Structure 1
Amino acid sequence: MIRRGSTLDRSLLLKFMQRTYQDLFPNQDFSHLEQTVKQYFSSDTPLWWVEEDAENEGHGDAGKLLSASPRPPIPASSSPIACLWVGNAIDQVQGNRHAHIFVLYVAPEHRRRGIGTALMQCIENWAIQRGDRQIGLQVFQSNKPALNLYDRLGYQTQSLWMVKFLNAQK
């Protein structure tokens, strides 16, 4: 079941962000993500959680995610299996505001069951309702499953983010 999060879910969001990056870069320290959440998480940056429905546990029925009615924020005792956090960005070519996906994470043991696709459909519907003309996201080149998902859903590369590491002293 999908539930809308609230700003009270700050610590759970941080936990999911750390899991996201830890999956990709297992030997890194991600304590700095707390600053990202502190700086960007607000009532203007919506958050959705997916909880496993006890009746349908293990059935992979992601279609229920889209038809689920909005529910109250998740209780502290609950353990979500997926998370979607969205913010706002400005298209640098057209100047239009659009949704930008900060985090999409599905716990490894729940992947390949349509949950990521259902969350992407949810955010697309939300963005259309508010008048957005596009959705942006950033994905690591090494994250092949995510790249495959976004490609299958029609996302296209618009720009490349390039970095050069420097030997600067702190």
Structure 2
Amino acid sequence: MERKIVITVLGQDRPGIIARVTGVLFEQDCNVENVSQTILQSEFSGIFIVSMPGSLTIDVLQRRLIDRTKDLGLHVYIKAVNPAEPPADDAAGDPFVITTQGPDRKGLVAAVTAIIAGYGVNVTNLQAVFKGGDDPTRNIMIYEVSIPASTDRAALAGDLNRKAAELGLHISIQHRKIFEAINRI
């Protein structure tokens, strides 16, 4: 019986990381189902959802990945994915994009996500690009969120706008389809 696992790989970026990791997975008869990979400054970060054969243990796979990536200086973490109940219809929500621009300071992400979480809204993707300084066009955060139908969207927007004003941020809240049409993603 196949099982699903999540593998997190971190380390200094260099060519060949994905090839090495997926090569080991192939050798172990694993199937990569989803991958999210990015480079933050000079650091590689990859998350893989993988189905693995029932005859393979997480410990054996982790040892093989560590052994085969040791020369790359990678950190590998594996955990089992527990089968989840399907989300309630309301929990799926509508996709929105919240964008902030403004001066860099500690606590920006924490302040915005505290409000988002307080309304039961899930952040599905977050990109933050901080270049430093007070130039508002150089510090951008893009939150992709899923807002449940039962959420008071006007209250959420009001709280986010108040917090943005307090922090000196420009904030935009748009349905993802509108955001994509405007920004031609």
TM superposition score normalised by structure 2: 0.29
TM superposition score normalised by structure 1: 0.30
| Structure number, greater radius of gyration | 2
Q: Which is richer in strand?
A: 2
